[in-house]
Amino acid sequence: MKNINFVGPRYIFLAISLTMITISIVFFFVRGFNLGVDFSGGTTMSVSFNSMKLTPADVRAIFSGADPIFKNASISQLHSLTTTGTQTKRSLFSITIGKFYNVDQKDKLVKNVQEIAKEHGVNARFESFQTVSGYAAAGLRQSAMWASIVAGIALLIYMAFRFQFIFGVGAVSALIHDLTITAGLYSIFWIRFDSTVVASLLTLLGYSLNDTVVVYSRIRENLKKMRGKPMAEIVNVSINQTLSRTINTSFTTFIVVFVLFLFSGTVLRPFAFGMSFGVITGTYSSIYIASPILIGWLEKRRKKVALRR
């Protein structure tokens, strides 16, 4: 098997990663995120109509008649529905608005929309209705933040006990790299950022760490087998020895989540988007960030041990 020199151009890839991280951070502060209803507060609903000719503009006109605020609502057409037990097809739309509706307001909105829809010659049926207050949204944002922090600390402790502290630092550095770039893509492409995305990012933490642990285990083995060899050579050999496993696992995972991204509905698409690109960044960081970052630390440790002797 050909031995690819991964660690030789490590400073080039480090510069690329730092550039991507910088771009992501700039977008964080300049553009922000397209927060979903559960993080920003508001209402999202799925409404079907017994006409396949309706467009988002037609739906906006119907809802605007019930409440003028819907002129600024986000409306997207989903897949059509087939009524159970019949062949009747219904067009399905997702409507999101930054307004919280209590029970009375919801009932009034539903009634008005159905009446106005009849005036347009169609029947409206509310398939789902989710509304979140600003207070609840703030609580969800805080919970998501703490979940990420606790997960990161737990992974650092795990790596420190499983290997050495410097391995834990290298692994967490790679995870920060993956999360920052993947989150940056949500801001750049303005993909909805909600609780499913947090689930995607936390899943990515585990996936990326698993990839890194495999390489680290081989590095630890080779530190004993290749005693006296340059650290760069040991790390590079370890990466090459685990490369086929890394590529096979990443490629099969990418196929599944990318197909999910292409064919899933609006609810799962943000999750699949994060996993699709997260698999790529996770594989990249395991090879070009997590492993090469150990070289300098391991060399210093070897010199200290040599001086003590």
Kindly write down the DSSP assignment for every residue of 115-144, as one continuous string. HHHHHTT--EEEEEEEEE-HHHHHHHHHHH
Q: Which residue in the block uniquely carries the two structure tokens 């005693």?
A: 227
Structural tokens at position 13: 């890839």
Residues 244 and 204 in one domain: yes
Label residue 300 by pLDDT band (50, 70, 90): confident
Residues 22 and 46 in one domain: no
Structural tokens at position 4: 């690819």
pLDDT at position 216: 87
88 domain residue, yes or no: yes
**Boundary of a domain, candidates 95, 113, 132:** 132
Label residue 113 by pLDDT band (50, 70, 90): very high
Label residue 2 by pLDDT band (50, 70, 90): low
60 or 143: which carries more pLDDT confidence? 60
41 or 114: which carries more pLDDT confidence? 114
pLDDT at position 135: 60
The answer, yes or no, to whether residue 148 has pLDDT greater than 80, is no
Residues 33 and 74 in one domain: no
The three-state secondary structure class of 132 is: strand
Angle at the Cα of 153 from the Cα atoms of 141 and 171, rounded to 5 degrees: 115
Residues 185 and 53 in one domain: no
> What pLDDT, in 10s, does the model give residues 3-44?
788 888 888 998 999 999 999 999 999 998 888 877 777 888
pLDDT at position 304: 65
Q: How remote is the C-alpha of 56 from its chain's centroid?
A: 28
Residue 81: which H helix or E strand, with range?
A: strand 81-82
Asked whether 264 and 272 are in contact (CB, 8 A), the reply is yes
Mean pLDDT of 228-244: 87
Structural tokens at position 8: 């030789």
Specify the CATH number for the domain of residue 28: 1.20.1640.10
Residues 143 and 228 in one domain: yes
Mean pLDDT of 210-235: 86
The three-state secondary structure class of 41 is: coil
170 domain residue, yes or no: yes
Domain assignment of residue 121, given as a range: 42-132
Whole-prediction pTM value?
0.79
Residues 179 and 255 in one domain: yes
Angle at the Cα of 185 from the Cα atoms of 30 and 6, rounded to 5 degrees: 120
Instruction: Measure the CA–CA gap between 76 and 53, rounded to whole angstroms.
Output: 14
**Boundary of a domain, candidates 100, 116, 132:** 132
5 domain residue, yes or no: no
1 domain residue, yes or no: no
What average pLDDT does the chain have? 84
| 3-state helix, strand and coil shares in percent for the chain, rounded to the nearest 5 | 70, 10, 20
Residues 303 and 203 in one domain: yes
2 domain residue, yes or no: no
> What pLDDT, in 10s, does the model give residues 160-192?
777 777 787 888 888 889 999 999 999 999 888
Partners of 49 in the β-ladder: 91, 124
> How many domains does the structure of the chain reveal?
2
Specify the CATH number for the domain of residue 84: 3.30.70.3220
Residues 90 and 29 in one domain: no
Residue 85: which H helix or E strand, with range?
A: none
Label residue 146 by pLDDT band (50, 70, 90): confident
**Boundary of a domain, candidates 132, 151, 182:** 132
Residues 53 and 164 in one domain: no
Mean pLDDT of 100-127: 89
Angle at the Cα of 143 from the Cα atoms of 70 and 259, rounded to 5 degrees: 65
Label residue 134 by pLDDT band (50, 70, 90): low
pLDDT at position 24: 94
